[in-house]
A and B are shown apart, each in its own frame.
Chain A
Amino acid sequence: MTDIQPPYKILVVDDEPDLQPLVQQRMRRYVRSGRYQFVFAHNGVEALQCLREDEEIVIVLSDINMPKMDGLALLDQIPKVNPNIRSVIISAYGDMKNIRTAMNRGAFDFVTKPVDFDDLKLTIDRTLQQLLEWRDALGARDRLVALQNELNVASQMQQSILPKRFPKGAGYEVYASMKPARSVGGDFFDVMRLEGGLLGLAVADVSDKGVPAALFMMSSRTLLKGAAIGLGKPSEVLGEVNNLLCEDNETAMFVTLIYAVYDPSTRMLTFANGGHNPPVLVDAEGNTKRLPLTGGVALGLVPDLEYAQTSITLSPGDHVVLYTDGVTEAMNEDEEEYGMARLEGLFAQSTPSSAREVNEKVVGSVMEFAGDAAQSDDITCMTMRAKGHDH
């Protein structure tokens, strides 16, 4: 949408020869000041030709009775040439039938003959004012659409950095998903093959949502990957990422992060928790228990923190479920929270047999619980299933 600027070009359409000199005479002050410019046509066919050749015309001022194509037929044709033109009809005094027809066909206003030029000037000003506001609104809408397109690209970029295919080892399988509440989210997860056949697992949640969270999420994820590959021990990884995030963090953004390393040869899972929801363990009989917190603070807040880590040995058939608070704090239409109790009771009397089954059951249960309530937070869940060596 190009901005329109003075002189505003107005097309006057009338078959009678006396209107053109009158308009030029009575409106000359506004033409001379550079506000308006008038062009003339003598019937609807000529008028359409003018509109096609001159895109600067913003208002059409038209008589109704004309040869070849009358004013009412012209009104039907104008939007096909340019939908952003406003039309004002000149009609005989008291001709309400034609005026109504003209208004129904999209005329913005009308003036009556004999033309009162003060009234015509006011009518043109009012029409132009409405047109300028309309074009402003269209421009705003276009900018909004452009912004939405950029958000969609950002959303695709964000989703594209999340692993979609999960590493399969002899001793484990992994499945994960992230469902953002808005175009872009603040949650992420990662699965990394580390040296010595180890597996690195991370689930994280950046404070707040939207674009600032997405930016912080991208840098958190990169720093985590670097630290995970370079350092190894979950406690050291969290300490390092925390220090890096604390540098220049004036906005007090933070990320809660759980990072775990699994050794399939010993089935030992070692994890450190930086302010994140405790993982849940679901065994082969569907028994569920919460893994302990390790007392860590969310990352990015206070530098030089020591993070603790805890190790547990898994049994074949155990599932470790990492998730964000979008799972436990999901709300239904009655504003009830999903809560830990529902998550911990989800697998009772079941014998879960794959990471994907467990993961999809958690997310499905949350979505079913939330029903038609608007999703207020990103929902992220990752499940790792430990397998025996003979599987």
Chain B
Amino acid sequence: MELTSENANGAVIVKAVGRVDGANARDFHEGLESSIGADGKSMVLDFAGLSYISSAGLRVVLLVAKSLQQRNAKLAVCSLTESIREVFEISGFDKIVPVYANSSEAVSGLEI
């Protein structure tokens, strides 16, 4: 699993590539938390390159959303592949975290 982040219109877009499971969920968490930064920008998780996410990974997504909420910022996810979309739908996470087709829609959707 690799994370790369870039700034776009006041939000941080983090691209996650590979697999997130119980073994690297902690790395995933630390990587996302360090991308939040002190200024409390909203975050978009771009999952186009993500092949698998376990429940441990979903929990990290939720923890990061809570962490951003405390800074008055928001979290969105975008570019879900078919299998990741299914995980979000089955678990109901698509009702908790806003899902967008791509990162530019996510950034404008977050009303940054």
Contact = CB atoms under 8 A, between A and B. Distances in A.
A274 interface: yes
Contact of B59 (A205, A254, A278): A254
Interface string A297-313: 11001100000000000
A55 B96 CA distance: 64
A208 B59 contact: yes
A288 interface: no
A253 interface: yes
A254 B60 CA distance: 11
- Overall SS of chain A's interface: loop
Interface in A65-98: none
A251 to B, nearest CB: 8
A275 B56 contact: no
A301 B25 contact: no
A167 interface: no
A274 B90 CA distance: 8
Given A208-B22, A209-B22, A377-B54, A297 B92 contact: yes
A298 B97 CA distance: 13
Chain B contact patch, size range: 10 to 19
Nearest to A307: B92
Nearest to B67: A252
Contact of B96 (A205, A302, A329): A302
In this complex, which of B25, B66, B96 has the most chain A Cβ atoms within 10 angstroms of its Cβ?
B96
A322 B89 CA distance: 18
A295 B52 CA distance: 22
A277 B90 CA distance: 6
B37 to A, nearest CB: 21
B66 A208 contact: no
Interface string A202-235: 0001111100000000000000000000000000
Nearest to A294: B92
Contact of A208 (B55, B90, B91, B92): B55
A252 B66 contact: yes
Contacts of B55: 205-208, 254, 256, 325
A356 B93 CA distance: 33
In this complex, which of A208, A277, A278, A296 has the most chain B Cβ atoms within 10 angstroms of its Cβ?
A208
7 contacts: A207-B56, A254-B55, A254-B58, A254-B59, A256-B91, A298-B58, A329-B52
B93 A208 contact: no
B62 interface: yes
A277 B86 CA distance: 10
B63 interface: yes
Contact of B90 (A207, A209, A254, A276): A276
B31 to A, nearest CB: 17
Contacts of A209: 22, 56
A295 B93 CA distance: 10
